[in-house]
Amino acid sequence: MAEIWIKEAERLGDGSIGGAMDSPSAPPRAVWHTTESGAGDAAFNAVASYLIRVQSEPHILYDPMTDRLGQYGPLNASARALRNDGSTRTNRTGRVCIQIEVLAKAGKPFTAYWRPGPNFRALMRALRSWGIPDAWPAGALASSYSDDVSRSRITWATKGGHYGHCHVPGNDHWDPGAIDVRALLTAGGDNSIPSTGGETKATPEPSVSRATTTIGGLVYGYGAHGDHVTAVGRALVEKGHGAAYRVGPGPTWSDADTVNYAGWQRSLGFTGSDADGVPGETSLRHLMGTLPGAQPVVDLSNLISAARRDPGLRQGGTTHPTDVAVVEAALRAEGLLSSRYAADGSFGSLTKTAYAAWQRRCGYSGSGADGIPGRASLERLGATHGFTVKA
């Protein structure tokens, strides 16, 4: 069951901080912050009321020294510790966007000295109950007062998992600092074994995997939620792999879905961990006939105007960062654009050079390979990299 209020947490404030998510079909995520304060009860109390006063409440306030856990608002609604990215309300991205403020400083990574306890495990249990995968899709955290991190809009829009505030597009903070991301997940307990209240397992039983995976921007596996989960369940039933359902397929991925899916994988000849019931691209494509997932649509005229924009016009003008970022990610995947500039959403000279290289690869030359996208080359890029073109 997805947890809305963590029973181990004390309530902070009046319990109402945000509202409904803007993109509930996007994968679930958590965002880690540091309060840039000390720890201990006095700091906890002061910061708790300060965040209310400035209306920047996260969902969770956590003390890494005392394991004290507070919660401001329900996990299935938005918090307000992030800045918007233009018109994108980053606080409201995803099935959930659970924000955690840790009483620590980014310059002194808290995982080096913290003392996580049962409340931290309760927090991680709650995050996982929403299907947030044990992954850091934006990569490395900022390691000092530096800006050398990915704030990719595409990653943010399409990937579930754990983010630092430093990874969120439209934001310029670098918290939570260079915390040890593995230590963080490990301190949360084993993801694959549901909590049994401290019982020790006498004999290992065949356990059902509770891992999750993201394919085509959609999350599959235990706890995943959405119409795409129901669709997979229906397809399994149709193919004769519905035996584990007691009440039929539904929108939240359960152990029954995993057991049925494992049967489907075995029927395709997969064995071992390839038949653990957590979908892979091949088995999913076979089951659904196509790979589900929202393909981004790139508007060709937006792209052309972004590419032709006077580089002097830094302010104003039309830049269409969303369209540009999709194309940049594809150029990066082709090895034509360095990851440093990929997905910055600006069709600058490096992007233009990269696109011209793509055009030459498509057989164009001269003015046909000037780096200004054309329909045919763009459609060809999209066919390989999962976007469609609106001309």
Residues that bind Zn ion (CB under 5 A): 33, 165, 173, 175
d(CA 292, CA 310): 38
ω into 169 cis (within 30 of 0): no
CB of 17 to Zn ion, least distance (A): 15
Based on CB atoms, which residue is closest to Zn ion, 63 or 175?
175
d(CA 59, CA 70): 8
Burial tier of 360 (Cβ tally within 10 Å: 0-12, 13-18, 19+): middle
CB of 175 to Zn ion, least distance (A): 4
Based on CB atoms, which residue is closest to Zn ion, 173 or 385?
173
Based on CB atoms, which residue is closest to Zn ion, 33 or 210?
33
Based on CB atoms, which residue is closest to Zn ion, 156 or 253?
156
DSSP state of 206: P
For 336, the token pair is 């034509």
Based on CB atoms, which residue is closest to Zn ion, 33 or 159?
33
Residue 179: CB atoms within 10 Å: 22
CB of 44 to Zn ion, least distance (A): 17
H/E stretch holding 383 reads: helix 375-385
Q: Helix, strand or coil for residue 269? A: coil
Q: How are beta strands 297-299 and 97-102 bridged, if at all?
A: unpaired
CB of 171 to Zn ion, least distance (A): 8
d(CA 141, CA 82): 17
CB of 335 to Zn ion, least distance (A): 34
Based on CB atoms, which residue is closest to Zn ion, 165 or 210?
165
CB of 296 to Zn ion, least distance (A): 28
CB of 145 to Zn ion, least distance (A): 14
Based on CB atoms, which residue is closest to Zn ion, 50 or 282?
50
DSSP codes, 329-369: HHHHHTT-S-TTTTTSS---HHHHHHHHHHHHHTT--GGGG
